[in-house]
Amino acid sequence: MSDDVNIRLIAKLRELARRADQLNTELMDPQVASDPHKTIVITKELGRLRRLVDPFTELRKIEQSLAEAREMAHDRAHDAEFRELAAQEVRQLEAKYNKLLDSLKTRIVSADDEAVESVILEIRAGTGGDEAALFCRNLFDMYTRFCERRNLKVEVLDQNGSDLGGFKEVIVNVKGPEVYRLLGYEGGGHRVQRVPETESQGRIHTSAATVAVLPEPKEVNIDINWDTDVEEHVSRAGGPGGQNVNKVSSAIKLVHRETGITVSMRDEKSQHKNRAKGRRVLLTRLYDFHRTRSQAERDSTRKSMIGSGDRSQRIRTYNFPQNRVTDHRINLDLYCLDRIMQGDMDELIGALQTYDKEQRLKSL
């Protein structure tokens, strides 16, 4: 990374350190201390800042020690053996400094993403009929296996199956440390090229699916009146599931009047459980709607980065005959599709994280 980026990074960290000092001063103010709401707000912001400010404080200590060691290593007043010991310490401190600095680069550009420990992952079949639904199932299996490897918890919220065992749509909740950093780049259009099981002529078909990755915040500060702001429709759930599915009005459809955002939930036999899940998904989609809009207004440079989650953007192609995965955002070809479909996505996600980190650092 260029010296210019390092200079901007240090300047940003100094700014955050000054903000942390200001907040600490405010906490000592008797008026603030007597106001629980203000205290909570300040404490939360301070907690977020400390993830960057504490290691930056350590970095400055290393920098000071490094300057002293360099001075001793070049001081002719000391004998050669002493200067060599000082030179060894310089090399050790430089390695420690560079490692911590690189860690801070990752933290400062992904602090918001790292804070998200729960996401709603939505996978929908696109063009391609039954083959697209089967591809949707393949993506679901791929993500599930990847989550198992990373010890992330997966909960299926809703699914709409196809006749051949695929998914027209599946919605899951994934929880775990840094889950958004791991799955946040998956939002967009996914395309598959392969010979379908139903193809008797051996011809390669192209099908598609879309993926949305919506952060589920710990606190959703969205003012919503479920009686007046949302239309609720109750119906019988269709598809497989036995007599209960067809006889009991358990399926729930929620429509947010202002935005038109719609959620349908039919996976549970209980109307109350479907309603609770539906409201949870609707809140997450509303949060994402407002977050995306404010983010676009605040930062137009985001368009040049990845992880925006635009479902209309084709982000990846899975070519089964060539055992190839192509990520179009970073022009990356990996010839290990078989491993990736088994959940071995580390190389792919790592490349996306590295590219995104570089782009975000440039915009500091």
**pLDDT averages per 10-residue partition of the chain, 364 residues:** 79 92 91 88 88 93 94 89 92 94 86 81 91 95 97 92 90 92 92 84 89 78 82 72 53 90 84 88 86 58 45 85 96 97 96 89 78
Specify the pLDDT at position 61: 95
- What pLDDT score does 292 carry? 73
Match 């071995």 to its residue by tokens. 344
Q: Which two tokens stand for residue 170?
A: 């599946």
Please enumerate in sequence order all residues whose Cβ is within 8 A of that of 23, keeping only pairs 6 or more positions apart, or say none.
Answer: 42, 45, 46, 49
| Interior angle at CA 167, CA 189 and CA 266, nearest 5 | 115
Contact call for residues 210 and 177 (beta carbons, < 8 A): no
Please check whether residue 279 is in contact with residue 262, taking contact to mean a CB–CB distance below 8 angstroms: no
In the numeric block, which tokens belong to residue 118? 């729960």
Side chain identity at 176, as an amino acid letter? G
Residues in a beta bridge with 206: 193
Domain parsing of the chain, residue ranges: 3-114, 116-221+297-362, 230-285
pLDDT of residue 14: 93
**pLDDT score at 311:** 53
What does CATH list as the number for 230-285?
A: 3.30.160.20
Instruction: For the domain covering 3-114, report its CATH number.
Output: 1.20.58
| CA-to-CA dists, residue 227 to 83, 190, 230, 232, 315, angstroms | 76, 37, 6, 9, 39
pLDDT of residue 362: 80
Output the CATH code of domain 116-221+297-362: 3.30.70.1660
Strand blocks (E) in the chain: 118-125, 153-161, 167-175, 188-194, 205-215, 230-235, 251-256, 262-265, 314-319, 324-327, 332-334
DSSP bridge partners of 156: 172
Q: What is the pLDDT of residue 94?
A: 94
